[in-house]
Structure 1
Amino acid sequence: MFFTRTLLKRHTVLPGFDLALGFTLLYVSLIVLLPLSAAFLKTFTLTWAQFWDAVSSPRVMASYRLTFGASLVAALINAFFGLIVTWVLVRYRFVGRRLVDALVDLPFALPTAVAGIALTAIYAQNGWIGQWLPFKVSFTPVGVFVALVFIGFPFVVRTLQPVLEDVNRELEEAAATLGATRWQTFRHVIFPVLTPALLTGFALAFARALGEYGSVIFIAGNMPMVSEITPLLIITKLEQYDVAGATAIAVVMLITAFTLLLFINTLQAWARKRQGM
C-alpha cells in the first residue's frame, strides 16, 4: 500500500496537492475575490442612508425591473427553445446540420457591439424584420429582451448537447417495449436526465444576460425609466464620478444574482440527488 501511494505521488502529472491548492486560491483571489472585495469596500464608504438612496431611487428601481425581468424571461425562452434545438441537432440527421450546429456558436464569436448593431438594423421599423412587425422592437424594452435571447441561447444548447448525446437509448427502447408512448418516454425517462443540465444552461444564460452591455445599449434606446439597463446606469454613474453610487448598485446586482444562482444550483443538486447521479 505504501509503495503504491509512493508511485502515485511520484508519477502524478500535476503538482502536489498543497502547491496546486495554493495556486488555485491565489488565482481565484486575484481574479474573483479581490475585485469583488474592492466593490464592497468602496460601498462601505457610504452611510446606510446614502446607500439606500443610491440603490432605491426610481430610476435605479426601473433599471432593476428591466434588467432582471428581461434576463429571467430571456433565460426561460432560451431553456425551452434550446431544448428543442438540441434535440433536433442530436437526434436527427439532415442536410445543413453541421451549418446549423456552427451557427449556434455565432453569439459566442460575434463581438457584442456588432451583434447590437445588427439586431438594431434588422428590427428597426424599416429593417428586414421590423418593418413587418405590428409593434416596435428597436429602442424599446422589447429590444433588450431580443438582445438577451440572442446572447444567451448558446449556453443552453452547448450545456444540453453532450448530456443528450450520452443518454442511453436502451432505456428508451425498454420504455417502448413496456408500452410507453413517446411523450411518456420523454417525460419519465429522458427529461429527468436532462433536468440538471437544463437548469445549468438556464443559470448560465441568466447570469450572462444580467451582465450584458455591448449588444443591449444599441438596441435598447437607453431611455431612463423606460429602456435603461442597470449596467448602463453603473457606467453613467462612473462617468459622473459617482464611484460609490456605482459600486453600491453593482453590489446589489451581485448579491441578487448570487442568491438566484445559489437557489438554481441547489435545485440542480437536488435533481441530481433524486436521480442518484
Structure 2
Amino acid sequence: MRKSLHNRGFLPGFGMTMGYTIIYLSLLVLIPLSVLFLKASTMSWEQFIGTIMDTRVLASIRVSIMTSFFAACLNAVFGVLVAWVLVRYQFAGKRIIDGIVDLPFALPTAVGGIALTSIYAENGWIGQYLAEWGIKVAYTPIGIWVALTFIGLPFVVRTVQPVLQDWDLQMEEAAATLGATRWNTFWRVVLPHLLPAIITGFALAFARALGEYGSVVFISGNMPLKTEIVPLLIMTKLEQFDYAGATAIATVMLVISFVMLLVINYLQWKINKFDAAR
C-alpha cells in the first residue's frame, strides 16, 4: 500500500495533471502566441518584408539584441561573483545585501528607469563625474545597457546561488590536496559544475532584457536609429493604429528570442551530457 502511494504521489494521475498542464499553457502561452502569428499572416509577404526591413525597425532590433546580450554577459560574470560572496562568506549586513539583490524584481521598472536616469544624467550623482571623462551614459546605448543589467542581475544570482549552496567543498579540498592552485580549482573544478546554472541565468536575463520597456524608456532617450528599442517601437506602432506593423515586429522578435533560447538550451544540454560522461 505504501509503495503504491509512493509511486502515485499526492497529485492526481498523469492524465489529469497533464491535461491541466496543457490547458494552462494553452490559455497563457500557446493561444496568445498563435493569435500573434495569425494576425501577422493577414499581411501579404511584401508588406511583411517591407515592415521588417525598414531602416528604423532594423536599427531598433540591433539595439535591443546587442544591449540585451552585453547586459546578460555582464550579469553572467558579476552575478556569479555576487552569488559566491553571499554563499561563501559571513559578514555584517549579509541578509540586507541578499534582499537588495531581489529589489529589481519588486521595484516597478518605471521607478528604476527614473532613478537610473537621475543618477547617470550629465548632472546626476555619477553622471557628472563620468561627463568629465567624456563618458555619457543617459540617452545613449550605454544607458540602455545599464538599465538592462540592473533588471537582469537577480536572474543570474538566484540561479547560481542554490548550486553553490549544494556544492560539496570536499571537491575543492581534494583538488588542493593534489596540488591545484585556487585559480585552477575554480577554473577546472568549480566552474564546470556552475556552468549549466550560469547559462540558465544568462538565458533568463537575456530573455528578460529583450522585452524590457519601463526602465529603458526613460534612460534611453528614445531616439530613432540610435537608442530606440523594439518594445518602444511596437508601442509607437500601436499608438499610430498600425496594428499589422506592430504584430509583424513582435513576431520577428518572438522568433529571434525562441531561436536564441533554443541554441542556449542546446548548449546547456551538451554541457550536461559532457559532464555526465566524465
Quick check: TM above 0.5?
Answer: yes
Number of residues of Structure 1 aligned to a counterpart in Structure 2 = 274
Q: What is the alpha-carbon distance in structure 2 between the residues aligned to residue 151 and residue 85 of structure 1?
A: 15
What is the CA RMSD across the aligned residues, in angstroms?
1.4
From 39, 42, 45, give the equivalent of 1:45: 42
Q: What is the alpha-carbon distance in structure 2 between the residues aligned to residue 191 and residue 37 of structure 1?
A: 39
SS in 1 for 2:29: helix
Give 1:156 deviation, angstroms: 0.4
**Match for residue 274 of structure 2?**
274
**Match for residue 148 of structure 2?**
148
Deviations 1:171-193 (A, max 9, x none): 11111111111111111110010
SS in 1 for 2:274: helix
Q: Which amino acid aligns with 2:224?
A: P
The normalised TM-score by structure 2 is: 0.96
From 62, 66, 70, give the equivalent of 2:63: 66
The normalised TM-score by structure 1 is: 0.96
**Match for residue 212 of structure 2?**
212
2:82 corresponds to 1:85: yes
Q: What is the alpha-carbon distance in structure 1 between the residues aligned to residue 3 and residue 94 of structure 2?
A: 49
Q: What is the alpha-carbon distance in structure 2 between the residues aligned to residue 143 and residue 182 of structure 1?
A: 36
Matches within 5 A, 1:79-228: 79-133=76-130, 134=133, 135-228=135-228
Pick closer, same or farther for the CA change 1:254–1:128 going to 2, 3 Å. same
Flag as ranges the 4+ runs of structure 1 deviating above 2 A. 3-9
SS in 2 for 1:276: helix
Deviations 1:26-78 (A, max 9, x none): 00000000110011000001111100011110000110110000000000000
Q: Give me the identity figure in percent.
A: 60
Q: Which amino acid aligns with 1:139?
A: Y
Q: Which amino acid aligns with 1:36?
A: L
Give 1:6 deviation, angstroms: 5.0
Give 1:87 deviation, angstroms: 1.0
Pick closer, same or farther for the CA change 1:44–1:95 going to 2, 3 Å. same
Q: What is the alpha-carbon distance in structure 1 between the residues aligned to residue 110 and residue 192 of structure 2?
A: 38
Give 1:12 deviation, angstroms: 3.5
Q: What is the alpha-carbon distance in structure 2 between the residues aligned to residue 5 and residue 17 of structure 1?
A: 17
Q: What is the alpha-carbon distance in structure 2 between the residues aligned to residue 99 and residue 172 of structure 1?
A: 29
Stretches of structure 2 lacking an aligned partner (at least 5 in a row) = none
SS in 2 for 1:225: coil
Q: What is the alpha-carbon distance in structure 2 between the residues aligned to residue 76 and residue 230 of structure 1?
A: 20
Deviates more, 1:84-93 or 1:71-80: 84-93
Stretches of structure 1 lacking an aligned partner (at least 5 in a row) = none
